[in-house]
């Protein structure tokens, strides 16, 4: 029996391949041209990978994050190619460039709303620049008050049509903002007052005053300011609200209780490093202003 020569066998295989896979069929399997890989353009995206040969904070064992004691067992082993996306740090948490700043514009903290329609307005910025298209959620306490979207200047607002929109009283509000690719932000909690219809800003229905009109604040000593007054038509147990506004606009709220004749007294304490200037005291009863007063804080004369 004659042996088949190796050269003859190879020739047969080549000819068979030509019949089974014609030239035009082979062309359809040509790989497309590949351009250079483009790294994701999002600011702060970390595309690093941690493996046994390239150690860093978090290690990869095959297609998952290594468990305790698992890393050492992978040395010398073949691991099939796997695409693993990792981030060694959370840029949304750590990078202030990606954090939305939500700035309250109107009303001022503690303001009494008397002109309607009235708008609660905020601005959303990032790195000092306005952010358009952020979704803003307004909250009254823990209740959803409404949604809005920021305009090209970063502003969004919630409109209160009239005094009947809300019952008279004090309202705590804040706003949150979110947008894809950024860490959300929020205003601090603020308050406003809906009046019951009494003439606002004009002393009526009572009095409020401080025991002095000018106080000298000394280093190392807190300053105690006595605030007292009287409310007409007072009901025992009702709250008398005192809003103290500092020279830079910071609002402090005190609650006092009156006697059966409506007389009340409380103490407002200032730290020794408090700012100097004129402070305003506004007194509310049943959601309406009944009196205002001012006092001045100065540094001791040298």
Evaluate whether 154 touches 124 at the Cβ level (below 8 Å). Answer: yes
Distance (Å, rounded) from C-alpha 3 to C-alpha 215? 120
> Which range, of 55-59, 145-149, 248-252, 298-302, averages the lowest pLDDT?
55-59
Asked if residue 189 and residue 101 are part of one domain, the reply reads yes
Neighbours of 91 (CB within 10 A): 15
Q: How confident is the model at residue 98 (pLDDT cuts 50, 70, 90)?
A: confident
Residue 26: inside a domain, yes or no?
Answer: no
Answer yes or no: is 87 within a domain. no
- Residue 6 domain-assigned (yes or no): no
Number of H helices, E strands in the chain: 3, 20
Both 218 and 180 in a single domain?
A: no
Q: Choose the weakest-confidence range: 59-63, 243-247, 279-283.
A: 59-63
Q: Are residues 210 and 157 part of one domain? A: no
- When mean pLDDT is compared across 13-22, 82-91, 189-198, the lowest value belongs to 82-91
Q: What is the pLDDT of residue 165?
A: 58
CATH value at residue 213: 2.60.40.1930
Final residue before a domain boundary, out of 138, 171, 194: 194
Q: Are residues 178 and 222 in the same domain?
A: no
Q: Is the pTM of this model over 0.75?
A: no
Assess if residue 261 is contained within a domain.
yes
Same domain, yes or no, for 103 and 188?
A: yes
Taking only the tens place, the pLDDT of each residue in 181-211 is: 899 999 998 888 876 554 333 334 789 999 9
Per-residue pLDDT at 149 exceeds 80: yes
Beta strand ranges found along 236-287 (DSSP E): 239-245, 251-257, 263-270, 277-285
Q: Checking DSSP bridges between strand 214-216 and strand 288-298, what pairing results, if any? A: parallel
**Domain at 175, CATH number:** 2.60.40.10
Looking at the predicted structure, is the pLDDT value of residue 75 above 60?
A: no
Binning pLDDT at 50, 70 and 90, where does residue 169 land?
A: confident
Cα separation, 196 vs 200, in Å, equals: 10
* The pLDDT of residue 290: 87
If one counts the domains in the chain, the total is 2
178 in the same domain as 231: no
Residue 173 and residue 216 in one domain: no
Q: Which of 137, 164, 194 is where one domain is finished?
A: 194
Could you tell me if residue 147 is inside a domain? yes
What pLDDT score does 234 carry? 84
- φ/ψ of residue 196, rounded to 5: -90, 0
Residue 55, Cβ neighbours under 10 Å: how many? 10
Quick: pLDDT tens for 236-278: 888 899 999 999 988 999 999 988 788 899 999 999 899 999 9
Mean pLDDT within 138-156: 89
The model's confidence at residue 49, banded by pLDDT at 50, 70 and 90, is: very low
Whether 83 shows a pLDDT value over 70: the answer reads no
Q: Is 110 left (phi over 0), alpha (psi -120 to 50) or beta?
A: left
- Nearest CA among 132, 139, 225 for reference residue 190: 139
Co-location of 233 and 183 in the same domain: no
Q: Residue 212's pLDDT is what?
A: 93
Question: Which of 144, 163, 194 marks a domain boundary?
Answer: 194
Domain that includes residue 187, residue range: 96-194
Are 175 and 228 in a shared domain? no
Q: Would residue 288 count as lying in a domain?
A: yes
Q: How far is CA 302 from the centre of its chain?
A: 45
Residue with the bigger pLDDT between 72 and 19: it is 72
Within a domain: residue 153? yes
For residues 76-96, give the mean pLDDT.
Answer: 46
d(CA 71, CA 49): 14
The answer to whether residue 67 is domain-embedded is: no
* Pair 177, 136: CB distance under 8 Å: yes
């Amino acid at each position: 029996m004659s042996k088949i020569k190796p050269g003859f066998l190879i020739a047969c295989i080549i000819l068979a391949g030509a019949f089974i896979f014609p030239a035009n069929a082979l062309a359809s399997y040509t790989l497309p041209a590949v351009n250079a890989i483009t790294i994701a353009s999002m600011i702060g995206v970390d595309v690093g990978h941690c493996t046994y040969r390239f150690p860093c904070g978090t290690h990869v064992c095959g297609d998952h994050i290594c468990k305790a004691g698992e890393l050492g067992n992978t040395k010398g082993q073949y691991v099939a190619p796997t695409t693993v996306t990792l981030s060694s740090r959370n840029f949304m948490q750590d990078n202030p460039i990606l954090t939305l700043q939500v700035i309250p514009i109107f009303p001022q903290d503690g303001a009494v709303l008397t002109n309607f329609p009235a708008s609660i307005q905020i601005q959303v910025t990032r790195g000092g620049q306005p952010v358009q298209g952020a979704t803003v959620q307004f909250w009254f306490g823990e209740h959803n008050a409404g949604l809005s979207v920021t305009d090209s200047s970063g502003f969004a607002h919630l409109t209160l049509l009239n005094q009947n929109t809300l019952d008279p009283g004090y309202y705590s509000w804040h706003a949150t903002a979110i947008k894809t690719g950024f860490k959300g932000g929020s205003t601090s909690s603020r308050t406003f007052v809906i009046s019951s219809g009494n003439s606002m800003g004009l002393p009526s229905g009572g009095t409020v005053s401080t025991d002095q009109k000018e106080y000298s604040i000394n280093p190392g000593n807190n300053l105690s300011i006595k605030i007292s007054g009287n409310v007409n038509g007072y009901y025992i147990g009702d709250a008398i609200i005192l809003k103290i506004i500092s020279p830079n606009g910071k609002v402090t709220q005190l609650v006092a209780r009156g006697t059966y004749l409506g007389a009340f007294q409380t103490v407002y304490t200032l730290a020794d490093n408090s700012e100097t200037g004129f402070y305003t005291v506004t007194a509310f009863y049943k959601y309406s202003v009944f009196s205002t007063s001012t006092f001045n804080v100065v540094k001791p004369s040298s």
